[in-house]
Amino acid sequence: MTLKFLVISDLHLVPEGRMSMSLDAAVRLQSCVEQINARYGDADFVLVVGDLADLGEEAAYLRL
């Protein structure tokens, strides 16, 4: 049996209304999820690893 894993790494989300290095990480994450759904619907697992929140702020984790 073969399993397909996808990995999303180092989101660096920030609280609503803020940017991380001039990027809106939440918008990029949404786009990533849409691409996964469109192209890799047969994946068995999606792992989200690394730095999920840019500065570890509670508001960033709540946004996630």
Model confidence pLDDT, tens digit, residues 25-38: 999 999 999 999 99
Cβ neighbours for 44, distance < 8 A, ≥ 6 positions apart? 3, 4, 5
As a whole number of angstroms, the distance between CA 35 and CA 48 comes to 15
* Average pLDDT of the residues in 11-15: 94
Q: What are the structure tokens assigned to 43, written together?
A: 């994946």
* Segment (H or E) for 47: strand 45-49
The pLDDT value recorded for residue 23 is: 87
Q: What pLDDT does residue 29 have? A: 94
The pTM score is 0.82
Q: Among all chains, which residue has been given the structure tokens 């697992």?
A: 45
> Is residue 20's pLDDT more than 90?
no
Q: What is the mean pLDDT of residues 36-48?
A: 95
- To which H or E segment does residue 36 belong? helix 25-39
